[in-house]
Amino acid sequence: MANTMNVLLAGFGGQGILFTGKVMVYAALMEDKNLSWLPSYGPEMRGGTCNCSVVISDEAVGSPLVTNPDVLIAMNRPSLEKFVGTVVPGGTILVDSSTVDIKVERTDVTVYYVPATKLADENGLKGLANIILLGKLYKEKGFVKEESLDAGLQKCIPPKKAAMLDFNRKALKLGMEQ
Amino acid sequence: MAVVFEKPHALADVPFHYCPGCTHGIVHRLVAEAIDELGVEGNAVGIASVGCSVFAYNYFNCDMIQSPHGRAQAVATGVKRAHPENVVFTYQGDGDLAAIGTCETVHAATRGENITVIFINNAIYGMTGGQMAPTSLPGQITQTTPYGRDVKTAGYPIRMCEMLSTLDGVALAQRVTVDSVKHVNEAKKAIKKAFENQINGLGYSIVEVVSTCPTNWGLAPADAIKWLQDNMLPYYPLGVYKDVTAQQGGEQ
Amino acid sequence: MSEKVLMKGNEALGEAALRAGCRHFFGYPITPQTELSAYLSKKMPKVGGTFLQAESEIAAINMVLGAAGSGVRAMTSSSSPGISLKSEGVSYIAGSDVPALIINVQRGGPGLGSIQPSQSDYWQATKALGHGDFQLFVLAPSTVQEMADFVALAFETAEKYRMPAMILSDGMLGQMMEPVVFPNETEIHEGDKSWAACGHKNARKHNVVNSLYIEAKDLEKTVVERYERYEKVKANEQRSESYLTEDADIVIVAFGASSRVSRSAVNAARAKGIKAGLFRPITLWPYPETELEKIVPTAKKFLVVEMNMGQMIEDVKLVVGGRKPVEFFGRTGGIIPTPGEILEAIEKM
């Protein structure tokens, strides 16, 4: 199925996993693409591991549950260990190398190591490692137009937290530079 | 010729199915009189429960809903929330209100649901043929306590008015009986007040009527009244357990 | 707002309920339907409606009986174990000919089961949600858009035939976000409510909302009358969708969440040159037998795909009547099947 991108975002609760997925699907909505966003729910969202399935497609989305991702974004070690084997051959893995201390041993996938948490801390963007990784994903995959991504960001940040928008834009840009 | 006695308008002109000596008939009449005197029949919605009073929907001329066993106060909540202008009352026995429906009773009360609850406590399941009720007395012989209610295995009776009077949402919790003219008059006043409280938006009002069940108690009607006076009233003292319109506390 | 918005399925149900004129919601917390309660708890007070968190599922469904019995649009929502608790009230609602909406965002069972998506309440919804002779009108959405669209349809159908309606959803549809469009204005077609117990205002005979008929012959009469209405529902209200079934050798029959995955599997099979198609029941009761029947002569085999151990397959077999093989593929316990697994099942046939 061409023109379908299955993304799995995974990490600890509080790392902005669900938020990142939301920015992606809102960006896709701007371009009237078919999309779905499905969070893991239940006890794991209360402090444990958390993941989110995002599908962006030119055709109707079948299963919103991503079991074999084209793209895996792993923000902690347990997530990488759990999902590394599920990525499709030829797929892409983005790893926050400042929180994950292992390497991907597979050779049939493209892996990008971005010290996202460290970069965020160093650039006054604490808590925005997720958006830095999204910037990197955008650089490599460019799944929507840049203005759509920005519009997606604006949709996801409530007006009363408008100050956060600039920080998120900076994080996105920083990610694109990696 | 002057009319000296007539059926309240809110009471349907059909024969009751109740047994001889059963006090349901008196309480039905008191409820209907209160509805008449307050002029609210057109706005009243009654909730019939499960038990001997299941057919209450045939006996009142206001709109009625027949509820599942124990759920009358949840049903009443639904009606009252949908139509706050309606005067909503439930009519429930002890099994319905104090066993299977305890949860609905306690929570309607604690929410301060603005409804009127008429609670018939006759210490037995009537409709199903005389089994132990939550209010059956210690030692009381019933079909399911053939050796008398043993509190060690069957537990103690529940005093609902006392229990509910601890809840902030309750406007009125009063226990009455209808064993004498004096007590019938007191019961009438309490029932009317329970309706007035609702009209005035004061919250949850419950009137517990200590009642008889001659058939299942195995007693003649007059003996049933005596049994009520000798056995039930000592365990279930009459009185006002909570009244937000007056001084609080029981007058016993 | 006729623009596309992103919403969770559970939230779309809540928004659609408001737009359908429902102002009375009674519920009890349970995963994975919670967002619906949360949404309505926020919105109901703003439109002067009632949001009440009941003390139990049992109380909630009986509050629905009271509110709907007094003539307003009322609903409750829950997930599988909570729906079991509601079954008593649902039976009374059906027996009292009261229209009301019950939403089941299914999770795995039996017992406390899991909190993951499931379709194992198919039998409960279509055959036996409570004691006695009765049916619910059951809709099975497969997208967030359908979650929204089916709420008004459920209320209208319930009122037209004076019966309870259910939207049988699941944790996947409830939790996922998808684009959804709400019409600018929802026209509200409310059914006749002259039977409701809301006070006779001294203008009519008293109404009684009741399910008790102590004389057997009276009860039989009311039940038979109710089943005559059910026949009309069967004749008028069957809904389904056929996808690539005209020339299909293998027809998958699936509803709700599993139908989405099946559709992907059908596309994958077609790409491999296998003539596969999908028949998707939208009403689970009445079962869309008329449309399914049309496919039986041309299909070679049927594959029923469900997120349970095989429940709807019995209704498919009733329609197919032994004329063609009917096979089953299912995952259960809260597992969503993958398109690959279903494709494999197709290839094995």
Interface test with C, best of A7, A8, A41 (most C CBs within 10 A): A41
Whole-angstrom CA distances from C215 to A34, C94, C221 are 58, 19, 10
Contact criterion met (CB below 8 Å) for C29 and C53: yes
Residues of B in contact with C59 (CB under 8 A): 71, 74, 77, 103-104, 107
- From the CB of residue C267, how many other CB atoms can be counted at a distance below 10 Å? 19
Look at residues C236, C269, C286 and tell me which one is the last residue of a structural domain.
C236
CA angle (A52 as vertex; A46, A53 as ends), nearest 5: 155
Helix (H/G/I), strand (E/B), else coil: A87: coil
Provide the pLDDT for residue B1. 75
- Residue C324: which domain range? 241-348
Q: Taking CB atoms and an 8 Å limit, are B63 and C56 in contact across chains?
A: no
Q: Taking CB atoms and an 8 Å limit, are C177 and A36 in contact across chains?
A: yes
Provide the pLDDT for residue B3. 86
Question: If you average pLDDT over residues B74-95, what whole number do you get?
Answer: 98
User: Exposure of A177 by Cβ count < 10 A (0-12 exposed, 13-18 middle, 19+ buried)?
Assistant: exposed
> Considering CB atoms only, which of C31, C172, C262 is closest to A64?
C172
Which tens digit of pLDDT belongs to each residue from C43-83?
999 999 999 999 999 999 999 999 999 999 999 999 999 99
Cβ-based interface (< 8 Å): residues of C facing B:
24, 26, 50, 52, 54-56, 58-60, 62-72, 74, 88-89, 92, 96, 196-203, 206-212
Sheet holding C240-243, edge to edge: C240-243, C276-281, C250-253, C301-306, C326-330
- Residue A30 Cα, gap to closest chain C Cα (Å): 9
Residues C114 and C140 in one domain: yes
Whole-angstrom CA distances from A151 to A28, A30, A79, A104, A147 are 10, 7, 29, 33, 6
In terms of phi and psi (left: phi > 0; alpha: psi -120 to 50; beta: otherwise), the region of C132 is left
Contact criterion met (CB below 8 Å) for A72 and A84: yes
User: Sign of the C-alpha dihedral, residues C117, C120, C124, C126?
Assistant: positive
Residues of B in contact with C201 (CB under 8 A): 42-43
Helix H, strand E, coil C: the string for C11-61 is HHHHHHHHHCCCCEEEECCCCCCHHHHHHHHHHHHHHCCEEEECCCHHHHH
Range with the lowest mean pLDDT among A156-165, B20-29, C90-99?
A156-165
- Residue C232 Cα, gap to closest chain B Cα (Å): 27
pLDDT at residue B137 is higher than 80: yes
Contact criterion met (CB below 8 Å) for B141 and B67: no
Sheet holding B239-243, edge to edge: B239-243, B170-177, B204-210, B116-121, B87-93, B44-48, B63-66, C208-209
Question: If you average pLDDT over residues C6-33, what whole number do you get?
Answer: 97
Whole-angstrom CA distances from C292 to B73, B195, C212, C240, C319 are 45, 57, 38, 9, 7
Per the structure block, which two tokens stand in for B228?
């009520």
Q: What is the mean pLDDT of each run of 10 residues along chain A (178 residues)?
A: 86 92 97 95 66 95 94 96 96 97 97 98 96 97 94 93 93 96
Tell me whether C4 touches chain A (CB under 8 Å): yes
Range with the lowest mean pLDDT among B108-117, B243-252, C255-264?
B243-252
Size of the A and C interface in Cβ pairs below 8 Å: 64
- From the CB of residue C205, how many other CB atoms can be counted at a distance below 10 Å? 8
Question: If you average pLDDT over residues C285-306, what whole number do you get?
Answer: 98
Provide the pLDDT for residue A1. 42
Q: Taking CB atoms and an 8 Å limit, are C70 and B61 in contact across chains?
A: no
Helix (H/G/I), strand (E/B), else coil: C64: helix
What single letter denotes the amino acid at residue B158?
I
CA distance C148 to C28: 21
- Residue B93 Cα, gap to closest chain C Cα (Å): 17
What single letter denotes the amino acid at residue C106?
Q
Residues of B in contact with C53 (CB under 8 A): none
Please report the ipTM that was assigned to this predicted complex: 0.93
Residues of C in contact with A34 (CB under 8 A): 179
Contact criterion met (CB below 8 Å) for B132 and B124: yes
Identify the CATH class of B24-243. Answer: alpha beta
CA distance B193 to B187: 10
Identify the CATH class of A4-176. Answer: alpha beta
Residues of C in contact with B71 (CB under 8 A): 58-59, 62, 65, 88-89
Residues C245 and C232 in one domain: no
Q: DSSP labels for C295-331?
A: HTTT-SEEEEEESSSSSTHHHHHHHHTTSS-EEEEE-
Return the residue matching tokens 């909730």.
B47
Residues C86 and C208 in one domain: yes
Residues of C in contact with B42 (CB under 8 A): 199-203
Provide the pLDDT for residue B248. 47
Share of chain C above pLDDT 70, in %: 100
End-to-end CA distance of chain A: 30
- Number of folded domains that form chain C: 2
Q: Taking CB atoms and an 8 Å limit, are B74 and C54 in contact across chains?
A: yes
Contact criterion met (CB below 8 Å) for A74 and A16: no
Where is pLDDT greater, at A13 or B137? B137
Choose among C113, C42, C43, C51: nearest CA to C79.
C113
Residues of A in contact with C343 (CB under 8 A): none
Contact criterion met (CB below 8 Å) for B56 and B28: yes
pLDDT band of C106, cuts 50, 70, 90:
very high
Tell me whether C274 touches chain A (CB under 8 Å): no
Residues of B in contact with C209 (CB under 8 A): 64-66
Which tens digit of pLDDT belongs to each residue from C297-322?
999 999 999 999 999 999 999 999 99
CA distance C160 to C238: 15
Q: Taking CB atoms and an 8 Å limit, are C67 and B79 in contact across chains?
A: yes
Residues C124 and C267 in one domain: no
Kindly report the length of chain B: 252
Whether the link from the prior residue into C325 is cis, omega within 30° of 0, is no
- Residue A26 Cα, gap to closest chain C Cα (Å): 8
Return the residue matching tokens 């799995």.
A8
Q: DSSP labels for A40-85?
A: --SGGGTTSEEEEEEEEESS-----S-SS-SEEEE-SHHHHHHHGG
> What predicted TM-score, i.e. pTM, was given to this entire model?
0.95
Domain ranges in chain A are 4-176
Interface test with C, best of A63, A67, A154 (most C CBs within 10 A): A63
Contact criterion met (CB below 8 Å) for B126 and B215: yes
Which tens digit of pLDDT belongs to each residue from C163-208?
999 999 999 999 999 999 998 877 899 999 999 999 999 999 999 9
pLDDT band of B252, cuts 50, 70, 90:
very low
Whether the link from the prior residue into C286 is cis, omega within 30° of 0, is yes
CA distance C88 to B68: 8
Residues of A in contact with C268 (CB under 8 A): 1
The H-or-E segment that residue C105 falls in is strand C100-106
Provide the pLDDT for residue B5. 86
Query: A with C: 3 or more CB pairs under 8 Å?
Result: yes
Provide the pLDDT for residue B247. 56
Contact criterion met (CB below 8 Å) for B174 and B208: yes
Look at residues C215, C236, C257 and tell me which one is the last residue of a structural domain.
C236
Sheet holding A49-57, edge to edge: A110-114, A92-96, A71-74, A4-12, A49-57, A34-39, C177-181, C4-8
Choose among C161, C164, C223, C233: nearest CA to C192.
C161
Domain ranges in chain B are 24-243
Chains with 3+ CB–CB pairs under 8 A to C are A, B
C-alpha gyration radius of chain C = 20
Q: Domain of C212: which CATH number?
A: 3.40.50.970
Query: Where do the H-state alpha helices sit in chain A?
Result: 17-30, 77-83, 116-122, 129-141, 146-156, 163-176
- From the CB of residue A107, how many other CB atoms can be counted at a distance below 10 Å? 7
CA distance A22 to A7: 12
Q: Taking CB atoms and an 8 Å limit, are C4 and A32 in contact across chains?
A: yes
Question: If you average pLDDT over residues B166-185, what whole number do you get?
Answer: 98
In terms of phi and psi (left: phi > 0; alpha: psi -120 to 50; beta: otherwise), the region of B83 is beta
Q: Taking CB atoms and an 8 Å limit, are C198 and B45 in contact across chains?
A: yes
Residues C196 and C309 in one domain: no
Whole-angstrom CA distances from C314 to C284, C306, C311, C326 are 12, 12, 6, 10
- From the CB of residue B9, how many other CB atoms can be counted at a distance below 10 Å? 16
> Considering CB atoms only, which of C89, C92, C207 is closest to B63?
C207
What part of C 130-189 touches A (C-beta under 8 Å)?
A: 171-172, 175-179
> Are β-strands B44-48 and C276-281 bridged in parallel, bridged antiparallel, or unpaired?
unpaired
Choose among C35, C43, C29: nearest CA to C10.
C35
Which tens digit of pLDDT belongs to each residue from C25-53?
999 999 999 999 999 999 999 999 999 99
Which tens digit of pLDDT belongs to each residue from B195-232?
999 999 999 999 999 999 999 999 999 999 999 999 99
